[in-house]
Structure 1
Amino acid sequence: MQRGDLRRKIFQQRQKALIVFVVDASESMGQGAFERMKAAKGAILGWLISAYQNRDLVALVAFRGERAEVLLQPTSSVLSARQSLRQLPVGGATPLADGLVKASQLIRVARQKEPRLEPLLVLVSDGEANVPLVPGANVLDELSTLAAGLRRDGLKTLIVDSASTALGNKNLKRLAGELGGIYRQARDLHAGQLFEMIRSAEGVGE
């Protein structure tokens, strides 16, 4: 059996997955927003190509400025993903909390349509959240509340820290702990690296 055949067999043995990328498209102190978005786009396309027989779904939520935006609704189509991700908007502040809200809403709707879906939320950020959901509220408190809700829902999460410091971002480490999720640091993130992190989180190939 060829290696590619083995990988396809492994993918087929899993439940259908929904990989929701929640990507920091703001310009803050960590790795550049465009590089984060580019890595996410590459990982999305790579995942769809590798897992096409399992019909896994992927989605992308980008957060920047004052709010988050769903750039790619759940899809298993490489063509649809390519068309939706031709332009990667970047810049502005960091509304991380709204990114988690939008992702949670998207996952809830997807689960209503396909109850057997196994979602994985992949957050890629340098952790410099600075836009609260409620004006004047404490952003970290809001994130803690959101994390508690996502954890109660049994949502699997992967936090990818692109902060420029060697120790990473303490707020993202805290968030990963509150989510009960996996924390990974990647100062020079690229698509292949992100793909492998997701593959490991999903247990593919283990």
Structure 2
Amino acid sequence: AGTATKAHGWELRRKVIEGKETNLVLLCVDASGSMAAKARMTQVKTAILSLLLDAYRRRDTVGLVTFRGEGAHLLLPPTNSVDVAAARLRELPAGGRTPLAEGLAEAAETIRRHRLRDPDRRALLVVVTDGRATAGPDAVNRSLAAAELIAAQGISSVVLDSETGRFRMGLARHLAERLGAEYVAVGDVQADAITTAIRGRAA
């Protein structure tokens, strides 16, 4: 009994020393389109490296799923290493159609796998999109269905709406509603907008 008490006390002290719980921050980013997509991905890379500079204090991990063309890719498996992220994100492909549903599905699967490995780590999904889906049959409805599956898993999320122009379709706001996500209109994506949104929700 004395050993168990000591072990329990050590665990309690360890948690107090560590402070706040750690986070898995997974960005799911639209890399489709042309010049705008390349600029967006550069800002995303800057934001990820900035977030990882805090990792030594917070012990958070950050990952990146992108979607473009016909599918989605886990470009950066969740890590707390700036060096690993810089190497993996050296090349950031962009262009093509917008497989939003596939991006959301890949993000959900990535979070599921990492929850199995580290169930105490809180997951935050950050979707950077204008909400448009153009790849595959019934693309928009499939993306909304994928969002509802994520919401059903209880994954905390935020949608950063990258829609620009005078005439807005409001698709990202609709997506946020299906996700049960917080919604932030950012327009032209800048690194500081991404980091501000994440730091405010992963504190």
- TM-score normalized by the length of structure 1: 0.85
Measure, in 1, the Cα distance between the counterparts of 2:91 and 2:169.
Answer: 28
Residue type of the alignment partner of 2:153:
D
Please tell me whether residue 26 in structure 1 is matched to residue 32 in structure 2.
yes
For residue 63 of structure 1, give the secondary structure of its aligned residue in structure 2. Answer: strand
Specify every segment of 5 or more residues in structure 2 that has no aligned partner in the other structure, as ranges: 1-17
Give the Å deviation of 1:13: 3.2
Please tell me whether residue 165 in structure 1 is matched to residue 169 in structure 2.
no
For residue 37 of structure 1, give the secondary structure of its aligned residue in structure 2. Answer: helix
Residue matched to 2:141:
141
Specify every segment of 5 or more residues in structure 1 that has no aligned partner in the other structure, as ranges: 1-11
Give the Å deviation of 1:119: 0.7
Q: 1:104 aligns with which of 103, 108, 111?
A: 108
Residue type of the alignment partner of 1:178:
R
Please tell me whether residue 117 in structure 1 is matched to residue 121 in structure 2.
yes
Which structure shows the higher helix fraction?
Answer: 2
Measure, in 1, the Cα distance between the counterparts of 2:168 and 2:111.
Answer: 28
Measure, in 2, the Cα distance between the counterparts of 1:13 and 1:51.
Answer: 14
Show the 5 A alignment for 1:1-206.
13-27=19-33, 32-132=36-136, 136=137, 138-165=138-165, 168-202=168-202, 204=203
Percent of residue pairs identical: 38
CA contact (8 A) 1:63 1:94 kept: yes
> Compared with structure 1, are the counterparts of its residues 168 and 15 closer, same or farther at alpha carbon in structure 2 (3 Å cutoff)?
farther
Measure, in 2, the Cα distance between the counterparts of 1:161 and 1:116.
Answer: 29
Give the Å deviation of 1:53: 2.2
Give the Å deviation of 1:14: 2.2
Report how many aligned residue pairs link the two structures: 186
RMSD: 1.6
Structure index of larger Rg = 2
Measure, in 2, the Cα distance between the counterparts of 1:78 and 1:51.
Answer: 9
> Compared with structure 1, are the counterparts of its residues 23 and 87 closer, same or farther at alpha carbon in structure 2 (3 Å cutoff)?
same
Measure, in 2, the Cα distance between the counterparts of 1:81 and 1:168.
Answer: 34
Residue type of the alignment partner of 2:75:
L
Q: Deviations over 1:96-142 (max 9, x none)?
A: 1100011111110000000011111111112221113xxx3x22221
> Compared with structure 1, are the counterparts of its residues 75 and 160 closer, same or farther at alpha carbon in structure 2 (3 Å cutoff)?
same
Residue matched to 2:7:
none
Give the Å deviation of 1:201: 2.2
Q: Deviations over 1:46-70 (max 9, x none)?
A: 1111232222111111111111111
